[in-house]
Structure 1
Amino acid sequence: MSAFLSEYIKFIALYFKNKDVMVFHGLIGTVVGQTAYNILAFHCLCSPKKNYLYGLAAIDVPALAFFVNGVMLNQNTWDIVSECQTRRYRKLSLTAAFALLGSIVGRAVVAPVTWTVISLLRGEAYVCAFSEFMNPSSLDGFISTTPGPEIMALFPCKDVPTPFMNYSGEVERQLKYESQLLGWLLVGIISLAVFLLLCLKHCCSTLGYQQEAYWSQYRSSEQTLFQRTADVHAKYLAAECVKSFFGFVALEDQEKQLLADCKGIKSVIPRKEWNRVTGVYMYRETNDTPIYSRLNKWDMCTKENNC
């Protein structure tokens, strides 16, 4: 159990220490998208039974879409897929899989939760969805003639019969109160969960704070440099193939200088080598030497000629 918590906390640490700004951009994009949607697109149908479905769909369907996109755009998702394809689960422990899935879900829920909280704090969708289920007896100045769901469903549009017109504002205020209360409760629960995870991380992690920070920085730097170098290598290989076909290749001056500096470049990288540096990897140590990634492990094994 302690080993499980230790490995899980390592991934939680990566999540909170990651320098990637995609989460922040996704958060801002969600806020802007939510605001634009409520201003331009949301119009309650004010029809019994349809209000409920439309209101909940306005909250839940975009949140689900954000979650699915968050999972698909997360590199860790494809690390798991690659791990399963190349190693057939042989080196993917249940602990590592659960920890990595936790990291993926943790990132993917940022935008959906933001959308849901803002929807609840604004209250339009909630008022639309639950107006027909509201008990008129809960209103200040009890309505003597109790309206049915057909009339209550009209309150979000303020298109109610004259005898009930005076209660339009009261209905909206009470439903928005409920909606905003749920929104703030959700914010509080999430804040508490984040606080507890941070406390758990610091209490249970086997790595010191500085080494955790270094591990996170290493992975971020490795990913950036690997992608940048892969772009140059792909351009070099493409240039060689185009030159072989046409007899020349039309390169810009900056590209010529860049490719001219690529000395000792590997023209072909075997699939076996790609598979060795691709997939899930948890922090490990060999003879008290830290190994931070699959690429780090590949480099050490290659230099020592023991892989």
Structure 2
Amino acid sequence: MRELVVLGTGSQVPTRTRNHNGYLLRWDGEGLLFDPGEGTQRQMLFAGVAASSITRICLSHFHGDHCLGVPGVVQRLSLDGVRHPVVAHYPASGAEYFARLRHASVFHETAELVESPVTEPGEIARGAFGRLVARRLSHPVESFGYQLVEPDTRRMLPDQLAALGVRGQAVGQLQRDGFVEVGGRRVELSAASEPRRGQRFAFVMDTRLCDGVFELAEHADLLVIESTFLSADAALATEYGHLTAAQAGRVAAECGVRKLVLSHFSQRYPAPEAFRAEAAGSFGGEIVVASDISRIAVPSRRPYRAAAG
């Protein structure tokens, strides 16, 4: 299963319809919880998300709408008896704040929370899911965005395998070793398969336009990006370190994004569809104006050549 569960889409001030931030990415056996703002634990209940589904917590920065839900989530891990380790990534400069959030009140801690602060841009984790990469963003406080990159693989072609006489256990050997001997002939993996591009997810919050934004969004199958302001308030966006919906659309267009998810909306705007209209001015792909307690599927795989662009 690969989907984004949206737990909250507000910015500094929550509204009647928008909670503070919160996004859970289900990625096969991983559950990455991004920027749990105040109220995230309750939003998880509404969305049917169990604490046991969380394997990583990723904070972009330490403004309250992106981290005040940490105490409840951390305590819920122990309350629910989560047995697997949960890794927490956050800007290392905010280690003091994370310590306060983690131990905000008295509770019986049984779950294993492994802190892995982000000190520099680059790869911060690697596993069966692929690589987790952090890039520095431009905000008044230190902030990082995150990118999940699945490795490229190869897709076996049944017709080619049959034509080459590769069957049974020989197929597994071909995948494992890159070649197999069949009837006195050497069959290379490339003769019976085609490239299968790995999928990419990107999470970009609270930033002005900068190199890190474009690096994170490059060829993303699913890009979750803040669009706090509309273009009429572009000067405010720059002053406070945020993006407009139009800028988010530009990023998606220039980076070859497949599905664009807009979020982190200022409470000053009553009509969320205005964000879609602005982003669509430069981006012709699929646009989702995120809403609380919604699910957004990661797009299905596309042909390698189209993905490679």
Bigger radius of gyration among the two: 1
The alignment's TM-score, normalised by the length of structure 2, stands at: 0.27
The alignment's TM-score, normalised by the length of structure 1, stands at: 0.27
Q: Return the structure number with greater relative CO, CA threshold 8 A, min gap 6.
A: 1
